[in-house]
Amino acid sequence: MSRALVGVSCLSHDAALAAVTEDGIQFAAHAERYSRRKNDPLLHQALIEDAARYWGHPGELAFYERPWLKRSRQLYAGQYRRALVDPRPAAYLRGFEPLRDLPIFYVDHHLSHAAGGYFTSPFREAAVVVVDAIGEWDTITVWHGRDRVLRRIFSTRYPHSVGLFYSAFTHRAGLKPNEEEYIFMGMAAYGEPRYRALIENEIVQLGPPPQFRLRRPLHRGLRGWRQEIVDGPDIAASVQAITEAYLTSLLRWTAQTVGSRHLVYSGGVALNCSFNGLLAGMALFDDIWIMPNPGDAGSALGAALAQLREFVPWPGPYLGYDIDRPLDTSAVARTLATQGTAGLANGRAEYGPRALGNRSLLADPRGMAMKERVNAIKRRQRYRPFAPVVLREQAAELFNMPPVDAPYMQYVVPCRKPDEYPAICHVDGSSRVQTLTREQNPQLHAILVEFQKLTGCPMLLNTSLNIKGEPLVNTWDDALNFAALHNVPVF
């Protein structure tokens, strides 16, 4: 095996590590799954030992951002306490034995995002758009990728940032910034965008595309802004509407300016699957690729690919820890048909925030009672919807599918039968769909086919297999802990 490139993102939030050789992506996983600390910013010895089983001979290390450049921005922003932390990750990384002697290359934060998307995409030529909160200075970048070269054609810099704007309002709604933006996005469906004009007047300025400006810096949140406004859903709807309006203008501009029919979209804002559903329906591009882990944790892989500068075949998102034990897919389907719920912890763990069938809690999606039951297990806000996994050939009967493929739960689309399947529909009748082919996950596919034979239903509710407040189950022991706590059979 050729020497591996090791990509790392850490010391900010949600640390991750990836190993890539010329033969392709060998391994990619989140530190939190090993340390059992949600969004753990630090690497973990067990993660590195697991990666070492796959990487053969590590040759060099690619870090997902440039620490000194980041420090200059922190000093500019007045974040002195953070800036005073020694920005050199080298000393930290060398504390892990297998990484000790590797030369370290620092990759520009947005280039890590762009390369992670472009080099895992099926396109050799594409427009590449990166939108996130903040890395070093860049917050929005547009690139043209062609013949393995990424040429940057537009950038917006701190303090103007769509991601910071969204995170500041997530925090304002009493949620955790950099973590619970997806809950804030879900809240938007319950509100009306009544504050859109107010927020546009006081916080954000949408200029001629692709300009995005903030009227005040937001890295310390919205401190005291309009405290008389307390209705979270209307604020969420307003912020989502402004974000969608800006992103639409940015992507229209990109389609016209770059002139490519392919889009690669990356950065933490690409996790906003409500907007992604709209984007897919706009037909600005013939095809769209969003790497299933487009946020900073995905940039562990992105940094390695930026350094490698080669396309790699996308092997699917199952790149982490391996639970290598036999699975009786018929028994899983029968349990789902008779008991309604089953945990599935088998094969390699998902790289990315979504459980896509290898660390999933599955349930019969029919009827209202199931939503209550799964909510009781997950102990989460009752208003939040669950997502479905559906056989790809049946997806269009049940959902108003976008023209792009949806195997990674990245697009919110209208459900055609929300009354029949309330457990997998949001209050506005939409669903974050995962379409499935045999090739993508043969075991989950076999379970779905069998479940359809038994019940006539080609779909299952698919949510993450985790104990409340903990990361996704990683090992079989974690799965057994889940089963014991919740009295749900795990396979």
68 versus 283: smaller Cβ distance to Fe ion: 68
Residue 130 Cβ, how far from Fe ion at the closest point, in Å? 8
Distance between CA atoms of 423 and 412, rounded to whole angstroms? 15
User: Three-state SS for 348?
Assistant: strand
Contacting Fe ion within 422-441 (CB under 5 A): none
Single residue of 32, 40, 108, 132 touching Fe ion by CB under 5 A = 132
Residue 245 Cβ, how far from Fe ion at the closest point, in Å? 22
Binding segment (CB under 5 A) for Fe ion, from list 34-42, 124-132, 233-241, 255-263: 124-132
Binding segment (CB under 5 A) for Fe ion, from list 5-13, 294-302, 372-380, 477-485: 294-302
Are the C-beta atoms of 336 and 460 separated by less than 8 Å?
yes
Which residue is nearest to Fe ion, using beta carbons?
132
Distance between CA atoms of 480 and 425, rounded to whole angstroms? 29
List the beta bridge partners of residue 156. Answer: 140
Residue 268 Cβ, how far from Fe ion at the closest point, in Å? 5
Distance between CA atoms of 375 and 380, rounded to whole angstroms? 6
How many residues interact with Fe ion (rule CB under 5 A)? 3
* Whether the bond into 210 is cis, omega within 30 of 0: yes
Binding segment (CB under 5 A) for Fe ion, from list 2-10, 131-139, 310-318, 322-330: 131-139
Residue 250 Cβ, how far from Fe ion at the closest point, in Å? 16
Distance between CA atoms of 242 and 174, rounded to whole angstroms? 20
293 versus 466: smaller Cβ distance to Fe ion: 293
Tell me the per-residue interface mask from 379 to 418 with Fe ion, x by CB under 5 A, - otherwise.
----------------------------------------
243 versus 430: smaller Cβ distance to Fe ion: 243
> Which residue is listed with tokens 């795990």?
490
Residue 258 Cβ, how far from Fe ion at the closest point, in Å? 21
**Structure-block tokens of residue 296:** 């900073």
Residue 389 Cβ, how far from Fe ion at the closest point, in Å? 28
Half-sphere exposure of 55 (CA within 13 A, CB side): 27
**Structure-block tokens of residue 150:** 């990424």
Instruction: State the sign of the Cα–Cα–Cα–Cα dihedral 157, 158, 163, 169.
Output: negative
Residue 109 Cβ, how far from Fe ion at the closest point, in Å? 6
Contacting Fe ion within 295-314 (CB under 5 A): 296
50 versus 296: smaller Cβ distance to Fe ion: 296
Distance between CA atoms of 236 and 167, rounded to whole angstroms? 11
> Which residue is listed with tokens 């996130």?
132
Tell me the per-residue interface mask from 174 to 213 with Fe ion, x by CB under 5 A, - otherwise.
----------------------------------------
Residue 68 Cβ, how far from Fe ion at the closest point, in Å? 17
Sheet holding 430-436, edge to edge: 341-345, 359-363, 459-464, 388-391, 430-436, 411-414
Question: Which run of H or of E encompasses 66?
Answer: none
**Residue ranges in contact with Fe ion by CB under 5 A:** 132, 135, 296
